[in-house]
A and B are shown apart, each in its own frame.
Chain A
Amino acid sequence: MRKASQLGDVTDMTDTTFDFSGKPIAITAEGLAKSFLGVVAVNGIDLQVKPGELMALLGPSGSGKTTLLRLFAGLETPTAGRILFGDEDATHLPVRERRVGFMFQHYALFKHMSVAENVAYGLHVRPRRLRPSGAEIRKRAEDLLELVQLPGLGKRYPAQLSGGQRQRVALARALAVEPRVLLLDEPFGALDAQVRRDLRRWLRELHDRTGHTTLFVTHDQEEALELADRVAILNRGRLEQLGGADDILDHPATPFVAGFVGDAVRLSVSVEAGWISLGRGKVPAPFQFPAGPAELFIRPYDLTLAHSTGHGTFTGKVVGTRRVGSARRAELILEDGLPSVEVTLPLEHAVLKGEELHLNLLTMRLFPAR
């Protein structure tokens, strides 16, 4: 039998006999709201996860993303709105009848049960007429452990497993009940960076194979953008934007998204007659952008070097440089009093502190100041 504890094996998918027939369904929130003793956690969210889709809920802490996930699972009751599983109204369906595979951030494994007993639990607690035979349950647990790359570890107890292994046991346990949707709360939150990366890829492959409609919560934007088909960005209980990685990175719908995703620097600028003043230069504003104070978000890769001053260029003074992977980043001050921005430079382009650089702005993320 293969040793499953080695990290290298995590991404290597082997074929098992486990069958995930059953068509994936969509899950929908309609005007969903939840407040705890007057504190609003989820504030009227409309959202649909399409059948078979892998969606991420991304947001800062306190944005309501975990509450939204728990509302879908039935672990919280909404104060307003509806939840649909497929076409069925599941708003008041009890947790145990929803058939959701829920994975908790700290896995919530049953410590007094072996790994196999943990996985088989959902089958053991079924009403007698729906419960498979003992032998069948054992077989299913074994198959699932194989699927999550933990074959032969069924007799261990959770305390004897590593964090990554526990996470996979939790996933196998959630899959055992043949869930209609998978809901994962910070699935990689408690793992170290290396294991995270491997498991992320593995989860993507597992999702592609099993085809479950999956919704996961994360505060790690890299994880959300890399793993999910679409990302829902939440802030203060509201849905700020829903879209793919390109949408969110290139066309942020709100200032919050522009500032939250990517290493953006926010500059308070003013727009006059179609031009933005930027340091000692001017940049054209988008067509028909209203005049007045505005917020400009700049990411390191939004800026390029211009060879000379001219139309649409501005200058910045280098205050520091640093090496980032295969590139160099220079930190620039455009104007005294404004926060510094960063520009990505090719490695061979050495810059000195105090040097003046001419810059062009490639993409524009400009919002009227509120």
Chain B
Amino acid sequence: MTVSKVTGQRFTFVRPSALPGFGITLGFATTYLSLIVLLPLVVLVWRASALGLDGIWKVATTPRVMAALEVSFMTSALAALLNAFFGTLVAWVLVRYDFPGRRLLDAAVDLPFALPTAVAGIALAALYAPNGWIGALFAPWGIKIAFTPLGIFIALVFIGLPFVVRTVQPVLQDFEREVEEASATLGATRLQTVFRVVLPALVPALVTGVALAFARAVGEYGSVIFIAGNIPFVSEIAPLLIVTRLEEFDYAGASAIAVVMLTISFVALLIINSVQALSRRRYEGA
């Protein structure tokens, strides 16, 4: 082999490691991922390909689909951002303070995970409808929450919260008290310590949490359709449009919308991940 003559060692795909089992675990992981994740996606693309790139483009650019995509991605992004703020706040309170009922509150954070989304949707719709408890407060001001994009936004905030809390919480838990004390001895005020020292350390975890909340929100169906009102061009989300197409037996059209959603989501997650890789590099000192 020419390679071995030049470098004196054979090219190997895997560098020797003290941890055995690379071959078998990688093999298992790729097989598993292929079966569970990649295969369905391939079928999806294959279904959509019946239309051709042209056809997909045509479906995706119809005004109604465009409007639905915009509603889906905009509300998801805004909901994820709001969760970034409130999720961090909830995590902060749960980690930093000891108060009666803390464990109960801690457990309650997971409820949006556990609740069937349709149940959540019905409950939210009841609350925020113009005659509901909260909706009634806003109705006199002419503000409608349920059956508008605002309602979608609230449903997505609800289902996304645990993602942010649960990713930020452990990092905050492990944050060394001494680092904050160091900041104080150096003359920083409490606010400066929080904003310059604590929050920056949470950024990588926060980005992960926001990405998860966003991804989940984009795909959310159950809770949204009950509160959204599903008015075309106003409060109709893309997943609903897909379901509608399926009910009309327009499998190719449904797949086409799905492929577009998939592509946008994938690009968005890729961007978030690379932002995160950049910020993480500092900590690990690569």
A interface residue numbers (CB < 8 A to B): 73-75, 95-102, 104, 106, 108-112, 121-122, 124-126, 156-160, 173-174, 176-177
Residues of B near A158 (CB, < 8 A) are 285
A85 to B268, CA, bound (A): 56
A-B contact pairs, 12 of them (CB 8 A): A75-B181, A75-B184, A101-B185, A108-B178, A109-B182, A110-B182, A112-B201, A125-B186, A125-B188, A126-B187, A157-B285, A177-B187
Instruction: Decide: A110 and B179 in contact? CB cutoff 8 A.
Output: yes
* CA of A109 to CA of B183, assembled, Å: 9
Measured CA separation A95–B203 after assembly (Å): 27
B residues less than 8 Å from A159 (CB atoms): 282-285
Q: A96-B188, A96-B189, A111-B282 are in contact. Are A125 and B196 (CB under 8 A)?
A: yes
Mask for B198-232, Cβ within 8 A of A = 1, else 0?
A: 00110100000000000000000000000000000
The distance in angstroms between the C-alpha atoms of A104 and B284, with both chains bound, is 21
Instruction: Select from chain A the residue with minimum beta-carbon distance to B188.
Output: A125
For A95, give the chain B residue with the smallest CB separation: B184
Whole-angstrom distance from the CB of A34 to the nearest CB of chain B? 16
Any A CB within 8 A of the CB of B176: yes
- Residues of B whose CB lies within 8 Å of any CB of A are 176, 178-179, 181-189, 192, 196-197, 200-201, 203, 279, 282-285
Give B201's nearest chain A residue, CB to CB.
Answer: A112
Excluding A74-B185, A98-B185, A173-B182, 18 further A-B contacts by CB distance (< 8 Å) are: A95-B181, A96-B188, A97-B187, A104-B181, A108-B176, A108-B178, A110-B179, A110-B183, A112-B201, A112-B282, A112-B283, A122-B188, A125-B188, A125-B192, A159-B285, A174-B185, A174-B186, A177-B186
Most A C-beta atoms less than 10 A away, residue of B176, B178, B201, B203: B178
Residues of B within 8 A of A101 (CB): 185
Given contact pairs A111-B201, A111-B283, A159-B283, A96 touches B184 in the complex (Cβ within 8 A): yes
B182 touches A108 (CB 8 A): yes
**Do A75 and B185 form a contact, CB below 8 Å, given A108-B179, A159-B284?**
yes
Enumerate chain B residues within 8 angstroms of A74, measured Cβ to Cβ. Answer: 185
Most chain A beta carbons < 10 A, residue from B178, B179, B185, B196: B185
A99–B179 touching, CB < 8 Å: no
Residues of A within 8 A of B285 (CB): 156-160
Q: Distance in Å from the Cβ of B186 to the closest Cβ of chain A?
A: 4
Q: Which among A73, A95, A109, A112 is the interface contact of B200 at CB below 8 angstroms?
A: A112
